[in-house]
Amino acid sequence: MVLLLRAYGTAAAIVLTMPRVLLLLPAAGYRNEDFLAAAQKLGAEVITAADYCHRLAPLMGMSPIFSLPFDQPEIAVEQALAALGRRVDAVLAVDDHGLELAALLRQKLGLPGNPLHAVRTTRDKLAFRRLLTTHGFNCPHFQAPISEADALALAPSLDYPVVVKARRLSASRGVIRADDAASFAQAVGQVHRIQAVADRDATQLGLIVEAFIPGREYALEGLLENGAFRVLALFDKPDPLDGPYFEETIYITPSRLPTDTQAAIAAEVQRACALAGLTGGPLHAEMRVNDQGVWLLEVAARSIGGLCGRVLDQRLGLSLEELILRHALNMPLPMSANSDASGVMMIPIPERGVFHGATGLMAARAVVGVSDIRITAQPGQMVAPPPEGEGYLGFIFSRAAGPEAAEAALRAAHAKLAFDIKAALPVTRACAQ
């Protein structure tokens, strides 16, 4: 946008350039609308890219930039650059799927941000475990069998319980605990199948088998600014996550952990970021805490998933998406502090099937402390709990004077909801590059 002003007969050209940002929006992303709304509020011009099926996109009249293979960044980057046209000021991936492509695009365009090698290190559970071990972090014993047969051969020598993991999946997808040789064999087969469907490189990646870490789980949300880590929120996860599956449900902030433990968590995350090479942008970390200290599960160069970021709106004084865009576009970060507790429940999926609707919403919204409820599953949508699925039925948000009340409101509201899910035959991915 260019504005030309004339003052007192003297021509004075004042050029106001609208910042331009490329957003990598997954076709099925929860937060697409929130990022677009934040960009509009900031007056930023948005160029959107997506990962629609390359066969369907042309039939729907879509530009090639809407059918980028996010999981093939070296191919997608050339396709994106050819369709982009004018230069952009920032490139952002809305969620985990586009992180490597965003890093490669920034590299090609000479834009600041996390380098590709750092993003790949933190996305890959094996590379991240090796980094932790090399640099003296608390880290469980792990092995990385390439094939299903190699994994099964480990069964007699394992010290149970163990956790079997896919290498690059998120949101508890492809993560299963095994307590003995029989459940281990079952877990290996199941995770192998999940990864084969979800990750193009499954046969080269193999699996991770690691010792189970006891303790409570927590999540840290932050922002990296030139390598310095700013804590936005530390979340308690009050439900025990002991397996066999690890479906996350409730996040509550502020944390009820002692101050020194909170400081130790932040310090470990900051150190891991520096060693991995992460330098700027949103950051989401997961960890367990027990008598031996802090155990990092993952450090991801992205913000919290789903609609969970909305739980921070009051705490920050602006949306998390606006904060991320402001940082990417080098705008001021006007944040305000709020002492209220807040929470979010990712409404769990009780069984695999076709979602037909929810009842009890009016009663649930009337619960004291509940600030919002969003049912995001659509009627007719296939849903599945972890370790197969990666989504939720929706989100319940709460706000209260303290964390206990915020948690109680979420549980009370969820108890009033009922969901109609009917069994259906399993489905497979219909489109592949």
Beta bridge partners of 357: 420
Average pLDDT over residues 338-342: 88
Least confident of 8-17, 226-235, 273-282, 313-322: 8-17
* Residue-level pLDDT at 13: 38
- Residue 223's closest CA among 311, 180, 284? 284
Name the H helices within 21-124. Answer: 32-42, 56-59, 73-84, 99-109, 116-123
What percentage of the chain has pLDDT greater than the value 90?
77
- Are 395 and 377 a contacting pair, CB within 8 Å? no
Domain boundary among 211, 242, 271: 211
**Residue of 139, 141, 164 whose CA lies nearest to 151:** 164
C-beta of residue 86 within 8 angstroms of C-beta of residue 70 = no
Query: Average pLDDT for residues 415-430, to the nearest whole number?
Result: 78
Indicate if 146 and 58 belong to the same structural domain. Answer: no
Pair (39, 98) in one structural domain? yes
| Percentage of the residues of the chain whose pLDDT score is greater than 70 | 93
Q: Are residues 109 and 150 in the same domain?
A: no
- 90 and 171 housed in the same domain: no
CATH code, domain carrying 95: 3.40.50.20
| Residue 218, domain member (yes or no) | no
Reply yes or no on whether the pLDDT at 215 is more than 80: yes
The values of phi and psi at residue 226, to 5°, are: 55, 40
pLDDT above 70 for 12 = no
Quote the mean pLDDT of the chain: 91
Clarify whether residues 25 and 109 are in a common domain.
yes
Higher pLDDT, 344 or 425: 344
57 vs 205: which has the higher pLDDT: 205
Q: Are both 93 and 160 inside the same structural domain?
A: no
pLDDT at 55 over 80: no
Whether 107 and 155 map to the same domain: the answer is no
CB 347 within 8 A of CB 336: no
Domain extent, residue 195, equals: 141-211
Residues 41 and 83 in one domain: yes
The residue from 195, 211, 227 where one domain ends is 211
**334 in a domain, yes or no?**
no
CATH of the domain at 178: 3.30.1490.20
**Contacts with 293 (C-beta within 8 Å, 6 or more apart), sequence order:** 138, 264
> Alpha-carbon distance 19 to 332, whole Å?
14
Residues 100 and 49 in one domain: yes
Quickly state the pLDDT bin for 40 (edges 50, 70, 90).
very high
pLDDT of res. 52: 87
Q: Which of 155, 184, 211 is at the close of a domain?
A: 211
Q: Which residue has the tokens 């470990």?
A: 268
Tell which wins on pLDDT, 334 or 157. 157
* 273 lies in some domain: no
pLDDT tens digit string along 142-174? 999 999 999 999 999 999 999 999 999 887 889
pLDDT of residue 345: 98
Average pLDDT of the segment spanning 363-388: 95
Average pLDDT over residues 10-20: 57
Mean pLDDT of 396-424: 96
What is the model's pLDDT at position 425?
61
Whole-number pLDDT of residue 62: 76
Over residues 236-267, the pLDDT tens digits come to 999 999 989 998 899 999 999 999 999 999 99
Residue 379 belongs to a domain: yes
* Number of domain units in the chain: 3
Q: What is the pLDDT, as a whole number, of residue 38? A: 95
Same domain, 68 and 161: no
Residue 391 has pLDDT above 90, yes or no: no
C-alpha–C-alpha distance, residues 392 and 407, integer Å: 18
The DSSP secondary-structure symbol of 67 reads B
Q: Is the pLDDT of residue 213 over 90?
A: yes
Is the confidence at residue 315, as pLDDT, over 80?
Answer: yes
H or E element at residue 282: strand 281-290
Higher pLDDT, 347 or 12: 347
In a domain, 109, yes or no: yes
| Whole-number pLDDT of residue 390 | 77
Output the pTM of the full model.
0.90
- On whether residue 269 sits in a domain, the answer given is no
Q: Are residues 17 and 104 in the same domain?
A: yes
Q: Please report the DSSP string for 358-402 in residue order.
A: EE-HHHHHTSTTEEEEEE-PPTT-EE--TTT----SEEEEEEESS
- Whether 23 and 71 map to the same domain: the answer is yes
**Higher-confidence residue: 62 or 90?**
90
Task: Say which CATH number the domain at 369 has.
Answer: 3.30.470.20
